[in-house]
Structure 1
């Protein structure tokens, strides 16, 4: 027993492994670290980190996307991306090298792109792409999209961050984490998923309304937004909160380039076509490839130059922005002739303000010069760029990082919503299937019940008729035998009496024969009448069973219509309940992000005001010192010779300076208070606007649910009306069929009565009573 118990324990893991679902392109229980070596970190995605890996055997490089999963169900969410990457084989789409699931971590090994993502390249170069570079990227993206759409795949997350660069000048589309793999060419989707700034208007509408699903053309809109991003570094409306931008996309006109005069008419026309808000008139990828903007692209040299420039060695030089001669500005007045004191002070004050302004600029800004040298097609190229370094730039970088964090949180939320929607759809489909199976089972059970009843009735009727026929044949034989015996006796008596009267004997025999035939015909007629009555009674019972069966079927059909309607209503309510729950969860996240954003803005303002407040005493001391020196100098120029008067003037000037400085401090405080009030009011306005938008979304969702429920009720009422309208002719057809069968039976028995046997008393020949056969049962 102990050995058996141990064997069971040792067999348990293998049983569990058999239960685990096996995926075609994912290796289980193989440690990827045995095959690949991690040599660096490339980035941090929404669902995990991305590492640079090297194959230990071949030395091939790969980008390893490592995702921690908590369950097998969560692992299922990433299979779409792996299946798409494994199925796609195109020059401009990243290739899947391998995939592993080990230690609750999913490793997706994809093709390594040395040039990195386009958005990182633009930030590195601190500029957008040139139009020639955008042309090449656009052409290659269109070819990749055309291939994906032919493969029935919608990317749903096109942006510069998902376009990777190769050193040979090719791009690679990446990140199929939210892509959709359709089963039909004309299939549409209604999932609200993607990155807000690049979302098509029809995708945005799916947040609250699932009535207008989208198709492959949603990628064309994202392509247009991505081209604007390539030209301007940031996508349109990037200054807005990710959630506020959704309303902008839905209600505003299509975005355009900020400085259209810098770009060609062909580029602007291409964007106009790609950013058509009506998806029906928006062109496809294959149609856009014929546009003049990309039709003439024959070489990828501009992208090779871009990659070479981004990867080139950089020489940096920082300049202090120091203006020559600014230190001598205060000395320019040494040779000023005697003038009116008031104008003299004005001149002094203007020089002082200019001096302080230049000093503050010198403290705040520096210029960074970057020189890059690289070789392209054997030609050495040198590119020098200048960039002003300031606190605002650091703040922009911080805001960009926080925005990416918000987008990452949003994408995680979208993934959870998508998973919940998929689980609910599976549950609802299962409910529908169960209901249909139950209805079919009940219908089949009822049909079998009535079929058995009809079959039993027919068998019973057949047995009764056969028994009646047997009894009738027996009675007929016995009656024939009895009558013949009596007649034979009477004949013998009569023959004895009338031996010589042959004629009377023949008449007597004929009379006997007529009596026998008449009696037998009457018996046969009575037998047929009994059988006909039995058959008629059986047919009535049979018709009654058929009526009961059809009535039961009709009741079940009507009940099924009602139950189906109730199920659809409940499923619709469940869907909208989940949508409301997800929307409220999203609203909480939006509100939290908005409050964090507002808090950051207030903290930035406080820090700036505190800096100004801290600088104010130093500036005032320096200013007071300079003004006092200038005042004393003016006193010496315009001296009256009395030192007491000069001291009194200096004392008064000091008091005036103190008052002026106090007024400046008070003005600064009031200015700061006003700024803080405005900022708090702006933040509160942002919160109010966000809540208003959220309330509108909730209201729109409730309205849509009400309309849907009303439409379901109207559809059910129409179906019920159509069913009842069709029921009347069905009932009439049933009754006509039953009447026709009754008439056929009556005609059959009339024919059988008219074909009575002319000689029922003929020897060895008795009448056979054939029962009526229903045509529907033959």
Structure 2
């Protein structure tokens, strides 16, 4: 494998790495945009939910205010009509009382006319004055009694109306508090759902990231394997070419060596004085046969050497392939373990976030119910003069499973004489 080929492989690997980095960067940016979009959706959903409940609360508050104002107007009319009716009745009673007194005065006058003439005038005057004082006192007591009855009746009527208003405001307060419970319960459910959705999105994005990394790793491993196979094949091809060249060159070398050796052998025979020409021919023939065997042996040795060299190279290449496969398998395993660890860390963090949210939810519920309890107690205290005991405004429990968080617009809504409106 030439230098240019290795350089080309490095360029391809660098280009592949650049593409991988771009894919990761693009995916990170895409995930960031998705998280931002999800957070904006969460904010919009939360705002819409709160706005919807706030509108419902405003409508309910206006309805309660209208109901209380209507009840107060009815109370004023009832008080006015009752006072007018009672005043008319008392005027009739007073008129009848005075008529009765007039009759008594007439009877008294008739009785006085029957007195003796000698002291009638003085005694009549004295009796009239006494009777007049007595009648004035009776009229005063009668009118005081009427006034007391009027005041007692109007106070009783006012207490009855005030008790009705108290019960009405108690019902309104309970409806308003239940609306707040429903509102806050919906907000809490939305918060829980958003925590789960945010976690699921992050988990999906994490899996997508590792999917891309696995895909990139497989592509890179495939490229590395292709390069290694091509490198191995190039080495084997180079060895095959070298062996072929050596195989083609060996006969020429052997023939040249055989020719030289034959000349040297014949030269040695000529210099030797031992033996006849027939013996020399026989020796030359034996030498030539020996050279043929030697040449054949050299060729066989060369073939064996080539086979051993090729086998060693193939074994080396196969070992390199196995080593690369093992290294790539370890990298894939490490990536899978890293993904498992990251998912576990994400799950653990989600569990921590969920537990923290649940822990903070308890005091939020307690604070909400404490506010409701305070409102109810304030209302009960306000109407304590007309509502008491079991017949009063029912107190709200401290904690309810359907309760919600502290009201953002909380506090008791007041009007002239109302703890609800």
**Equivalent in 698, 708, 724 of residue 342 of structure 2:** 708
Q: Note if contact 2:166-2:387 (Cα within 8 Å) is conserved in structure 1.
A: no
Q: How is 1:621-660 mapped onto 2 (pairs within 5 angstroms)?
A: 621-640=255-274, 642-660=276-294
Q: Deviations over 1:691-721 (max 9, x none)?
A: 1111111111112222222222222223222
Q: Note if contact 2:221-2:328 (Cα within 8 Å) is conserved in structure 1.
A: yes
Q: Equivalent residue for 1:770?
A: 416
Q: Deviations over 1:227-246 (max 9, x none)?
A: xxxxxxxxxxxxxxxxxxxx
Distance 2:202 2:188 in 1: 21
Q: Equivalent residue for 1:313?
A: none
**Equivalent in 199, 206, 216 of residue 582 of structure 1:** 216
* Residue 159 (structure 2) pairs with residue 525 (structure 1): yes
* Residue 416 (structure 2) pairs with residue 416 (structure 1): no
**Equivalent in 129, 137, 148 of residue 514 of structure 1:** 148
Q: Equivalent residue for 2:126?
A: none
Q: Note if contact 2:86-2:150 (Cα within 8 Å) is conserved in structure 1.
A: yes
* Residue 325 (structure 2) pairs with residue 722 (structure 1): no
Q: Deviations over 1:282-302 (max 9, x none)?
A: xxxxxxxxxxxxxxxxxxxxx
Distance 1:477 1:456 in 2: 31
Cα deviation for residue 749 of structure 1 reads: 2.3
Distance 2:419 2:376 in 1: 11
Q: Equivalent residue for 1:215?
A: none
Q: State the structure with bigger RCO (CA 8 A, min sep 6), 1 or 2.
A: 2
Name structure 2 gaps, 5 residues minimum: 103-131, 389-414
Q: Equivalent residue for 1:450?
A: 53
**Equivalent in 437, 440, 443 of residue 43 of structure 2:** 440
**Equivalent in 74, 81, 94 of residue 471 of structure 1:** 74
**Equivalent in 170, 181, 184 of residue 536 of structure 1:** 170
Q: Which has the higher strand share?
A: 1
Q: Equivalent residue for 1:114?
A: none
* Residue 393 (structure 2) pairs with residue 749 (structure 1): no
> Partner of 2:384: helix, strand, or coil?
helix
Tell me the TM-score normalized by structure 2.
Answer: 0.81
> Partner of 1:750: helix, strand, or coil?
coil
Q: Note if contact 1:569-1:709 (Cα within 8 Å) is conserved in structure 2.
A: yes
Q: Equivalent residue for 2:404?
A: none
Q: Deviations over 1:369-407 (max 9, x none)?
A: xxxxxxxxxxxxxxxxxxxxxxxxxxxxx6332221111
Cα deviation for residue 459 of structure 1 reads: 0.5
Cα deviation for residue 753 of structure 1 reads: 8.3
Q: How is 1:237-636 mapped onto 2 (pairs within 5 angstroms)?
A: 399-498=2-101, 500=132, 501-636=135-270
Question: Structure 1 residues 586-595 or 560-569, which shifts more?
Answer: 560-569
* Residue 313 (structure 2) pairs with residue 679 (structure 1): yes
> Partner of 1:570: helix, strand, or coil?
helix
Distance 1:753 1:692 in 2: 86
Q: CA RMSD in A?
A: 2.1
Distance 2:226 2:328 in 1: 13
Question: Structure 1 residues 679-688 or 621-630, which shifts more?
Answer: 621-630
Q: Deviations over 1:104-130 (max 9, x none)?
A: xxxxxxxxxxxxxxxxxxxxxxxxxxx
Distance 1:658 1:641 in 2: 24
Q: Note if contact 1:598-1:683 (Cα within 8 Å) is conserved in structure 2.
A: yes
Name structure 1 gaps, 5 residues minimum: 1-397, 755-768
Q: Note if contact 2:163-2:386 (Cα within 8 Å) is conserved in structure 1.
A: no
Cα deviation for residue 492 of structure 1 reads: 3.1
Q: Note if contact 1:535-1:771 (Cα within 8 Å) is conserved in structure 2.
A: no
Q: Deviations over 1:431-480 (max 9, x none)?
A: 32333233222222221121112111110010011111111111111211
Cα deviation for residue 582 of structure 1 reads: 1.3
Cα deviation for residue 601 of structure 1 reads: 0.6
Q: Equivalent residue for 1:761?
A: none
Q: How is 1:53-202 mapped onto 2 (pairs within 5 angstroms)?
A: none
Q: Note if contact 2:50-2:183 (Cα within 8 Å) is conserved in structure 1.
A: yes
Tell me the TM-score normalized by structure 1.
Answer: 0.45
Q: Equivalent residue for 1:19?
A: none
Distance 1:639 1:715 in 2: 106
Cα deviation for residue 490 of structure 1 reads: 2.5
Cα deviation for residue 726 of structure 1 reads: 2.4
Q: Equivalent residue for 1:689?
A: 323
Q: Deviations over 1:665-707 (max 9, x none)?
A: 1101100011111111111111111111111111111122222
